[in-house]
Amino acid sequence: MKRSADKTKAKAEPFSVSVDDMRRSDAYTIEHSVPGGELMRRAALGVFHAADWRGGVAIVSGGGNNGGDGYALACVLARHGVRPVVYRVGEGVTDTARPFLDEARELGVDILPFREDTDLSGFDMVADCILGTGFKGPVRGLAREAIRAINASGAYVVSVDINSGLDGDTGAAELAVASDLTVSIGFYKKGMLTCAAKKYIGALVNADIGITRA
């Protein structure tokens, strides 16, 4: 008598790339088809549509393009009737991010400096846009305090592209944002799918914004 075939199939792991692969793909796409500012706008729209944004919303933005995603998200939210408060971790801003920072100000979004004593516990939702996929090593300075404030907030936390403090290749972290939802941008990063990352990442989705793999 033949044994019936086991119809249970192992769940395929999502396609993922290394941090260097992602960087090359970003650069290739910007050079050949889609400007960086348009990619940032698409990223913000992807994050907006991935979550149910309501109540009091804080966006914590760093000085790189991950912070720029936060400024772009602030613009999208403001145009949809949700007025966030943006906290800037440091004064840095990239050339790609600056137009969105300026636009957010024009839309009346409150943009405040993040300080060591900033308390985020009064917000219903917090968007983590502090550190991007290129981050390596222990978190230092004001970024460290910002991560701690997010984790202590009690809010629903959405990490944009990757949880701040998480290594995009290995998933390791000395300190990282613990999110309820992480919205990867472009492609999943290999570190997100590791066992090491599971304690930091709640739900995980990917926003396809038209990046071509280099």
Q: Return the CATH architecture of domain 17-207.
A: 3-Layer(aba) Sandwich (3.40)
Query: Contacts by 42-46 with C-beta closer than 8 Å and gap 24+?
Result: 42/207, 42/209, 42/210, 43/69, 43/72, 43/160, 43/161, 43/185, 43/207, 43/209, 44/69, 44/72, 44/73, 44/75, 44/76, 44/100, 45/76, 46/183, 46/185, 46/207, 46/208, 46/209
Model confidence at 207: pLDDT above 80? yes
Model confidence at 194: pLDDT above 60? yes
43 pLDDT tier (thresholds 50, 70, 90):
very high
Model confidence at 8: pLDDT above 50? no
Mean model confidence pLDDT for the chain = 93
- The pTM assigned to this predicted structure is 0.92
Domain ranges of the chain: 17-207
Model confidence at 5: pLDDT above 90? no
